[in-house]
Amino acid sequence: MRTKVAIIGAGPAGLLLGQLLQGHGIDSIIVERQTPDYVLGRIRAGLLEEGTVNLLDKAGAGARAHREGLVHEGVELAFGGRRHRIDIKATTGKTMMIYGQTEVTLDLMNARKASGLTTIYQAADVRPLDFDTDHPRVSYVKDGTTHEIACDFIAGCDGFHGVSRASVKPPAIETFERIYPFGWLGILSETPPVSHELVYSNHARGFALCTMRSMKRSRHYVQCSLDDKIEQWSDDRFWEELKRRLDEEAADRLVTGPSIEKSIAPLRSFVAEPMRFGRMFLAGDAAHIVPPTGAKGLNLAASDAYYLSEGLREYYDEKSSAGIDAYSERALARVWKAVRFSWWMTQVLHKFPDTDGIGARIQLAELNYIASSKAAMTSMAENYVGLPF
Ligand SMILES: Cc1cc2nc3c(=O)[nH]c(=O)nc-3n(C[C@H](O)[C@H](O)[C@H](O)COP(=O)(O)OP(=O)(O)OC[C@H]3O[C@@H](n4cnc5c(N)ncnc54)[C@H](O)[C@@H]3O)c2cc1C
């Protein structure tokens, strides 16, 4: 097989990249280790920046998001027993959209199918090869037989545990990492959300977040210990703990119900530099991870796919390497700003093991400052809604 761009991984980064390239007349083959159902079953992100929605439109996969997604103009911060609204639209002129990652993935998969492009699912032992030469290849095993794809470029869109980044050894790659001393316990339930916007709560018992996938389906999180096991958290225990961490009005409005998914996720900041190695590029979680507090992971995967697709368009249309040469630097500049913002939101909203009296009061002072200063509110809002790309 031969293609221009061999993409490893059919998550949001790989699928979006494939569609954006297709829009520029550049063909691609995607190799994915899981089945489509497995990929679609992963409950993850739910908040799209306006720029990400625009990219879905550009990729020909935005129609259903506009019909079914919930447009949000603000977000609420709960602290000191009260909720304070940050008016994102008034401060930035932009909005966000609630639309689940599972739906984004489904729409992109359908667009890819409609374009007649090849995706190889259940590909085992995928390997990016010879990417430091002019003749890169991707090999994989399917039904016991080894296959090879010859290509011009490889896009490593295979997530944090993928093979692409792992194929590059130091000193060609440098990594930066911070692991946070807590996790997020999340549940999905067929219950209406507490508020029509997201509620982020800073509480003495720990952080909590009320978000949603629709006006009938809620996603809630509480900060938990890294040692906690799912079995220790019955639905009743979860709802009790969440209520304690909300302001009185939100706690009264909380509608509880059986969980349809429950998981614990560790929180981590991670960046690999650079994001290009000869003829292989990294995009999305393959290159960076942020704690979900700022809702940036999926959105960064989208901006990487955009930068890379534009660089490759320039390469094929204008016979210029300028775009692909600048890819790593352009993408990393935006990534680091999102890493900073996600770290900052995590820092100000969570209870750390060493959060003492003074630490807790400094957090409250900072949250009060955001809620009362137009400058501070605008700074938070423009980062939350998504920096331009
Ligand atoms: C619990 C949780 C909650 C989150 N919440 C949010 C949120 O609210 N907002 C937000 O913006 N982000 C959130 N994120 C992050 C977001 O889900 C990711 O940033 C996003 O999925 C990144 O997309 P990706 O395509 O880069 O990687 P992935 O979605 O990880 O996709 C990578 C794909 O590559 C495949 N793959 C892996 N290894 C191989 C291999 N060797 N060969 C072939 N294929 C391979 C995988 O099966 C997968 O399909 C959350 C993540 C988690 C885990």
Among the ranges given (32-46, 188-202, 253-267), the one the predictor scored with the smallest mean pLDDT: 32-46
- Ligand 1, atom 31, lies closest to the CA of 11
Catalytic residues: 72, 200, 292, 296, 384
Q: Mean of the per-residue pLDDT values for the chain?
A: 97
Calpha distance 356→280 (Å, rounded): 46
CA dihedral 66, 69, 73, 74 (to 10 degrees): -160
| Predicted model pTM | 0.96
Residue owning tokens 């979680």:
285
Pocket of ligand 1 (CB under 6 A): 8-14, 31-34, 39, 44-47, 101, 123, 126, 157-159, 162-163, 265, 284-286, 292, 295-299, 301
**In which band, very low, low, confident or very high, does the pLDDT at 355 lie, cut at 50, 70 and 90?**
confident
In this predicted structure, the answer to whether residue 356 has a pLDDT above a threshold of 90 is no
Q: What DSSP element (H or E) covers 263?
A: strand 259-273
Ligand 1 pocket, mutate which of 182, 222, 223, 285 (most atoms under 8 A from CB): 285
Residue 50 and residue 94 in contact, taking contact as beta carbons nearer than 8 Å: yes
Residue 87 carries which DSSP code?
E
pLDDT at 44: 84
Q: Which amino acid is at 210?
A: C
Ligand 1 pocket, mutate which of 15, 20, 44, 304 (most atoms under 8 A from CB): 44
Range 376-384 average pLDDT: 97
Which H, E and C letters describe 6-60, residue by residue? Answer: EEECCCHHHHHHHHHHHHCCCCEEEECCCCHHHHHCCCCCCEEEHHHHHHHHHCC
Report helix, strand or coil for 170.
coil
In this predicted structure, the answer to whether residue 354 has a pLDDT above a threshold of 90 is no
Q: What DSSP element (H or E) covers 358?
A: helix 357-372
